[in-house]
Structure 1
Amino acid sequence: MQTSKLNLILARLVFLSTALLCFIGVLLELWYAYRHTSSLPPNAGFTRTFGPGIDGLLNQFSFFTTQSNLILGITTLLLAIDLDRTSSSFHIWRLIGIIDITITGIVFNFVLKTVPKNDIIADTASYLEHDFAPILAVSGWIIFGPAKTVTIPRIFLAGLLPITYAIFTLTRGAIQEWYPYDIMDVPRLGYPGVAINIIGIFVLFLLIAGFLALVDRLLSSRFGRISFPNS
């Protein structure tokens, strides 16, 4: 089905809006981290903190939230610039962005024990990164696609990133004595407890990937979903 010019314009606007929202959220997060000492998860088994200063800012890039927002922001910005992206590597990163931001929203809102910072900058960044970005990302993907891009090999390759993230985080945590989330708090939970949490999140990754694959197949020719022959 041929995609109309109006749908292409709307797709670009949605992708651009998603990218800007992600980048604003990350910038606000980094600004707050630069000016404040990092907070510990509730009942943390460690006491290491970062910041204020450049160490606190750089440490934010170790958060899954920051990484998923950056990946989503960059891939949607690239789509806003050029919708006709047929590179398989691009669509793998596009898939990573959609799945990871969905995990970010679900885990933050339903799993993590978070405490509001009562700071307009920090709380605005949190809402943008954990609530608005997942909703806009998934709805934009469902409506505009690009369609016919979710395949089993791409899901497999996309799954390597969260595995790598878990290994990196646990290794860095053992060295720095710091962990970004309470579900990865080795001093409190031990490696068996953390391993159970990581496996649970990876199962969530597979469930989301399966849902996206099903939607991609069922809705490939619905709404205004963009489809290119080589994507």
Structure 2
Amino acid sequence: MQTFKLNLILARLVFVSTALICFVGVLLELWYAYHHTSSLPPNAGFTRTFGPGFDSLFNQFSFFTTQSNLILGFTTLLLAFNLDRSSSSFHIWRLIGIIDIIITGIVFNFVLQTVPKNDIIADTASQLEHNIAPLIAVLGWIIFGPAKTVTLRRILLAAILPVAYAIFTLTRGAIQEWYPYNIMDVPRLGYSGVAINIVGIFVLFLLIAGFLALVDKLLSSRFGRISFPNS
């Protein structure tokens, strides 16, 4: 009984810490955006920029990084307040947060071409959002779960969000002549080149989801993972 209570306390601490890292990273990112003109991706095929001011700040919400950190932050915060969240809708968003933050870390560190800002605020935000948040999120999910929550139905529903993000980004980009990442730079790559990148990211999404489903099944409720019935 004492071990179980200790696991619950540790789980809450990990989930609160994850949420704090995500929110601090986003707040620092927004602060920097408000005070600076947005930068262009390397070799960008467009010249549109935002800011400084509220236009640059609000534009940050169009980044996959910002969205994934916010989703992860809110879902882990909700878990910290109530570990007994067994509703399917919550665990779909929990799954989205985990998969998207993993994609954020992988794509940023191994795929994207980025320009260093050499600013302590921007660099700290980047470290929190792209490196620390993915790491603590995955460790927290593996150790504390909740377990037995990854199903094929939830994976398919979670996959709707990256598809919607791609459609939104391309539509908005065509209107405003701006794209958040060099892998989605239509003026430089064309729609065919961007489509290949989007398909690649979607495949990565499914591979990560499949891996999480396998881990979820193998680990079950071991290592202190909190187990709730699927609903």
> Which bracket does the TM-score occupy, shorter chain normalised?
over 0.9
Q: In the alignment, which residue of structure 2 is the partner of 1:22?
A: 22
Structure 2 distance, partners of 1:203, 1:88, is 23
Distance 1:3 1:58 in 2: 45
Deviation at 1:116, TM superposition (A): 1.1
Deviations 1:167-222 (A, max 9, x none): 00000000000000000000000000000000000000000000000000000121
Query: Residue 145 of structure 1 contacts residue 226 of structure 1 at CA under 8 Å; is this kept in 2?
Result: yes
Q: Does 1:77 align with 2:70?
A: no
State the shift of 1:115 in Å.
1.4
- The structural deviation recorded for 1:3 is 7.2
Q: Note the alpha carbon deviations across 1:70-106, whole angstroms, 9 max, x for none.
A: 0000000000000000110000000000000000000
What amino acid does structure 2 have at the position aligned with 1:27?
Answer: L
Amino acid at match of 2:82: D
- After superposition, give the CA deviation of every residue in 1:6-41 in whole Å (9 maximum; x if it has no partner): 000000000000000000000000000000000000
SS at match of 2:210: helix
Deviations 1:104-138 (CA, angstroms, capped at 9, x unpaired): 00000000001110000000000000000000000
Distance in 2, matches of 1:131 and 1:17, equals 14
How many correspondences in the alignment?
Answer: 231
The residue number in structure 1 matching 2:159 is 159
Q: Give secondary structure in 1 for the equivalent of 2:114.
A: coil
Counterpart in the other structure of 1:88: 88
**Between the two proteins, what is the percent identity of the paired residues?**
87
Confirm or deny that 1:7 pairs with 2:10.
Answer: no
Structure 1 residue runs of 4+, over 4 Å off?
none
The 5 A counterparts of 1:45-56 are 45-56=45-56
Question: Aligned partners of 2:159 and 2:168: how far apart in 1?
Answer: 15
**In 1, Cα distance between equivalents of 2:178 and 2:2:** 52
2:190 maps to amino acid: G
**1:228 Cα deviation from its structure 2 partner:** 2.0
> Residues 143-154 of structure 1: matches in 2 within 5 Å?
143-154=143-154
Structure 2 residue runs of 5 or longer lacking an equivalent are none
RMSD value, Cα: 1.3
Q: Give the secondary-structure state (helix, strand or coil) at the position aligned to 1:180.
A: coil
Q: Distance in 1 between matches of 2:4 and 2:195?
A: 48
Q: Aligned partners of 1:220, 1:73: CA distance in 2, in Å? A: 24
The equivalent residue for 1:118 is 118
Amino acid at match of 2:107: V
Output the TM-score relative to the length of structure 1: 0.98
Q: Give the drift of 1:230.
A: 5.0
User: What residue number does 1:40 align with?
Assistant: 40
Structure 1: give runs of 5+ residues left out of the alignment.
none
Does the aligned pair in 2 maintain the 1:35–1:53 contact within 8 Å? yes
What is the letter of the counterpart of residue 210 of structure 2? Answer: G
**Cα distance in 2, alignment partners of residues 175 and 226 from structure 1:** 46
